[in-house]
């Protein structure tokens, strides 16, 4: 059975929660923690209750939410002026600029709490005019922070999974999350998809045939009660699409779907509909950037079965 490893790993975070609950105050991490994840390094920096960055002050306080659970507040001020107020189950400081002006002065991740949701990255410009970019990475508990090879002095690139297809025709453990990479775009001054970094070489016919065979083999190992196709089909299709190879993904679909099986057109219509509703597909026009919209066109008449798959 296919497994996805982008899942919550509590680690030091559990100790943080216990410290808040027992001591009633925000804990201070003594040293930087660098987690190696499948998305790359995930730094966790020292984040004391009061931290000054680029002339602004970040205040963390421990409290409780409306249901009495431990929570944290984050307030950003410049002097007496409040720039931002946030509340979450936990906050991490993942990046702090050495010199102000090349991008955000700080990057903070907020976690709402829960089994596997939700994480939000907050890129904060603190010097001069305050600005914030909110990047909802949802189930990615440890997004990767990668060096920008094109601009060594630039803030890190962000690498994480797109969980649009979470629970779609499969359990969460079997749900694919294709990789997305964001980098700071200097002209716009905001993070956006780095399509060049996401692209991979076009697979040849032999590679696609092998993938199709593996997908059909996976169907033989489906658990009792599960119906084909296997989640490996749309996992591989999504990996191809998100690496700039939408035509190859469409070709793989044709190769992997048995001629005798009904429902091919309906499945493809539902898959395309789900794809088009992804957060980055809509907000960042990812389908257009990946040259995928012309290959996977949303059907004018959506099958009724698609409605129950939301």
| Cβ-contact 163, 275 below 8 angstroms | no
pLDDT score for 11: 39
pLDDT, position 37: 85
Rg (the chain; Cα; Å)? 22
Q: Give the number of other CB atoms < 10 A from CB of residue 244.
A: 19
Provide the 3-class DSSP secondary structure of residue 207: helix
Q: How many CB atoms lie within 10 A of CB 221?
A: 11
Residue 224: count other Cβ atoms within 10 Å of its Cβ.
4
Give the pLDDT confidence score for residue 113 in this predicted structure. Answer: 83
Q: Please give the pLDDT value at position 28.
A: 53
Looking at the DSSP assignment, which residues form a beta bridge with residue 277?
none
pLDDT above 80 (res 20)? no
**Whole-number pLDDT of residue 1:** 36
Q: Please give the pLDDT value at position 23.
A: 39
pLDDT tens, residue by residue, 191-242: 999 999 999 999 999 999 999 999 999 998 888 777 889 999 999 999 999 9
**pLDDT for 135 beyond 60:** yes
């Amino acid at each position: 059975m296919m497994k996805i490893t982008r899942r919550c790993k509590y680690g030091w975070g559990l100790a943080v929660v216990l410290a808040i609950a027992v001591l009633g105050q925000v804990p201070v991490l003594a040293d930087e923690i660098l987690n190696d994840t499948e998305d790359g390094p995930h730094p966790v920096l020292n984040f004391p209750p009061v931290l000054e960055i680029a002339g602004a002050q970040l205040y963390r306080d421990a409290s409780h939410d409306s249901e009495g659970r431990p929570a944290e507040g984050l307030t950003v001020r410049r002097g007496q002026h409040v720039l931002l107020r946030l509340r979450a189950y936990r906050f991490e400081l993942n990046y702090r600029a050495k010199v102000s002006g090349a991008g955000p002065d700080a990057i903070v991740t907020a976690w709402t709490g829960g089994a596997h949701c939700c994480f939000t990255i907050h890129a904060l410009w603190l010097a001069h005019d305050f600005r914030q970019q909110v990047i909802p990475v949802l189930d990615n508990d440890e997004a990767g922070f990668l060096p920008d090879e094109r601009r060594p002095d630039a803030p890190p690139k962000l690498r994480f999974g797109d969980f649009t297809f979470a629970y779609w025709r499969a359990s969460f453990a079997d749900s694919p999350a294709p990789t997305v990479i964001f980098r700071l775009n200097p002209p716009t001054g905001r993070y956006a998809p780095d399509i060049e970094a996401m692209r991979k070489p076009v697979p040849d016919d032999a590679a696609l045939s092998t993938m199709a065979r593996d997908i059909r083999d996976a169907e033989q190992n489906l658990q009792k009660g599960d119906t084909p196709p296997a989640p490996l089909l749309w996992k591989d299709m999504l990996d191809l699409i998100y690496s700039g190879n939408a035509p190859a993904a469409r070709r793989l679909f044709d190769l992997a779907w048995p001629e005798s099986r009904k429902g091919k057109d309906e499945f493809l219509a539902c898959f395309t509909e789900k794809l088009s509703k992804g957060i980055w597909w809509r907000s960042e026009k990812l389908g257009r950037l990946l040259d995928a919209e012309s290959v996977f066109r949303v059907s004018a008449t959506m099958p009724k079965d698609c409605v129950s798959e939301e």
